[in-house]
Structure 1
Amino acid sequence: MSERIKPTISGSAETMLQSFYARARYSKSKHNKFYDAKAVELVDKIDYDFSTAARDSTMRKGVIARTVVFDELVKNFIEKNPYCTVVNIACGLDTRFYRMDNGKITWYNLDLPETIAIRNQIFEESGRVSTIGIFALDPAWSKEVKVRGKMLFIIEGLSMYLTAEGNGKILKIIKDNFDNACILMECLAKAWVKKEGIEKSIQQTGSKFVFGADHFEDLGNMTTGYHKIKDDNILRGMELFSSAYRLLALLPIAKKVTQKILIFEKDEQSM
């Protein structure tokens, strides 16, 4: 890839570039918990001003913490279901497949057509890992998932930019079209809704935090046909930056205000 890639995206889609930068920078650190080889290789080949992201430690720490915890959860699922199919909703420039691949899984990266166009320039994916360029709220994407079986759906870095109605549409598409579905859904803590200014690089894109949930129960009617497995969070990922987070994690207020990863499954009777 000799020419630099100039992304033509804005708003919430643009936030994928901040996440990509955060993973590249962290991967270059001496004691990294994970190494994102693609991000390291290609971050300098993207024609984009990352200066605000470089100064935004709040954003970077959040991205790394959630990446570590999501990696743990996805790895555990794949170990229990080695031939599963994973659908990564709003994938951006995520590279988790390359860290998780056991040689047996099938993986779909789903995002907006303009985002997938950029992704395809960088990754050129096919075979057991492929892309779908359709808006996540459009049921048409479900027909592009050809391999079924035990299903894992990752919703990372998306729900906070959608309304409750929008998030509900995604969960309904999954419920209506897939059996054996397990969902890992990242949610902003409700305390941080409308406070996107805490992450300057996100604010710079014009994105707005409009939705949050502290517990599975906060999702309300959108989870009809699902049952709760666990309310998780990214605090153990934050421990990478300071041992103080280990003590902080013991406080109820810490669990309340941190990013959540809600884990739930489709009910058998809904299949």
Structure 2
Amino acid sequence: MAEKTNIIPTQTPKYKPSARIKVNLSGTAETMLQSFYARAKYSNNKEHKFYDSKAVEIVEKIDYDFSLAEGDSTMSDGVIARTLVFDELVKNFISENPNCTVVNIACGLDTRFYRMDNGRLKWINLDLPEIIDIRNEIFDEPERILNIGCSVLDASWVKNIDACEKVLFIIEGLSMYLTKNENAKMLEIIRKNFSGATVMLECLAKRWINREKIEKSIHKTGARFIFGADCFEDIADIAAGFRKIKDDNITRGMIALHPVLRLFEKLPFVDKISEKILIFESE
């Protein structure tokens, strides 16, 4: 993730574009389009477990070749499985903390707010300025959403967040593209500025590091898997000042997609290859 110092906190323009929006991105930034398309495509499956109406609505507004994403079932299944599990975890957190602030780091074109909104929470979308520019062109979002264009590694983004209640940080689809030191810096910024905050961090299983070729649409963007963790203990050195709540993974999301996988759920290798969602809080 490139360092950016220009911060763009914005309220989204109150109009909808009449023409398709041309998107020119590469590397990690481009992966957001693959994830977004996977959710839209899945939502049109009559057997869907969740329906992402926003993704379905706006996918046609984007001028981008989704042909590789269309045929990349490995990428798509992973995105949908983690969406199912993250939705469950985030919904439970909001139920317990209805006035919370949710900070969605590396938000891309994520639409979870529209599935989770209880009419009271605050939602912060954080991503690089060029991503937020695209988001602002596409979305017509309510006032309780604030979009901030800034690198997560530039600590000045925290000045835009006024949170008086419990804070949840969602970090989905990002840590695997950052170095160990960059992940450490991201977590340090959260710890120093948000006491008692909860973090839900998606991590690639360690055995998939440098094996991004299995997801053809991701590999074509130039993004590379360079970081992974199998449990909180694997990141204890870069998560100093946090305490573990629990280690989770996306296995139950995969089983929801492919029930036959339940036959293998208890086998040790399944946990070894599953993407993890590590949940912890700042002390």
Settle same-fold status: TM greater than 0.5: yes
Which deviates more from structure 2 when the two are superposed, residues 122-131 or residues 165-174?
122-131
Q: Which residue of the partner structure matches residue 253 of structure 2?
A: 237
Q: Structure 2: 5+ residue runs without aligned partners? A: 1-16
CA distance in 1, matches of 2:282, 2:163: 18
Tell me, yes or no, if structure 1 residue 62 matches structure 2 residue 73.
no
User: Residues 11 and 141 (structure 1 numbering): CA distance in 2 closer, same or farther, change over 3 Å?
Assistant: same
Out of 169, 175, 179, the residue aligned to residue 159 of structure 1 is: 175
Q: CA deviation at 1:126?
A: 4.6
Out of 38, 41, 44, the residue aligned to residue 60 of structure 2 is: 44
Q: Which residue of the partner structure matches residue 119 of structure 2?
A: 103
Q: Deviations over 1:213-238 (max 9, x none)?
A: 00101013111111111110001000
The answer to whether the 8 Å contact 2:54/2:114 transfers is no
Q: Which residue of the partner structure matches residue 140 of structure 2?
A: 124
Tell me, yes or no, if structure 1 residue 228 matches structure 2 residue 244.
yes
- Map 1:203-218 → 2, pairs under 5 A: 203-218=219-234
Q: CA deviation at 1:148?
A: 3.3
Q: Which residue of the partner structure matches residue 18 of structure 2?
A: 2
User: One-letter code of the match for 1:4?
Assistant: R
Tell me, yes or no, if structure 1 residue 261 matches structure 2 residue 274.
no
CA distance in 2, matches of 1:241, 1:150: 32
Q: Give the SS at the match of 1:136.
A: coil
Q: Which residue of the partner structure matches residue 146 of structure 1?
A: 162
CA distance in 2, matches of 1:33, 1:243: 13
Q: Give the SS at the match of 1:222.
A: coil
Tell me, yes or no, if structure 1 residue 191 matches structure 2 residue 207.
yes
CA distance in 2, matches of 1:213, 1:69: 18
Number of equivalences? 267
Q: CA deviation at 1:253?
A: 1.0
Q: CA deviation at 1:119?
A: 0.5
Q: Structure 1: 5+ residue runs without aligned partners? A: none
Identical pairs, percent: 62
Q: CA deviation at 1:46?
A: 0.8
Computed over aligned residues only, the root mean square deviation of the Cα atoms, in angstroms, reads: 0.9
CA distance in 1, matches of 2:180, 2:142: 33
Q: Which residue of the partner structure matches residue 71 of structure 1?
A: 87
Out of 35, 38, 44, the residue aligned to residue 51 of structure 2 is: 35
CA distance in 2, matches of 1:126, 1:40: 18
CA distance in 1, matches of 2:193, 2:24: 32
The answer to whether the 8 Å contact 1:125/1:131 transfers is no
Return the TM-score normalized by structure 2.
0.93
The answer to whether the 8 Å contact 1:65/1:236 transfers is yes
The answer to whether the 8 Å contact 1:20/1:93 transfers is yes
CA distance in 2, matches of 1:43, 1:249: 34
Tell me, yes or no, if structure 1 residue 177 matches structure 2 residue 193.
yes
The answer to whether the 8 Å contact 1:84/1:152 transfers is yes
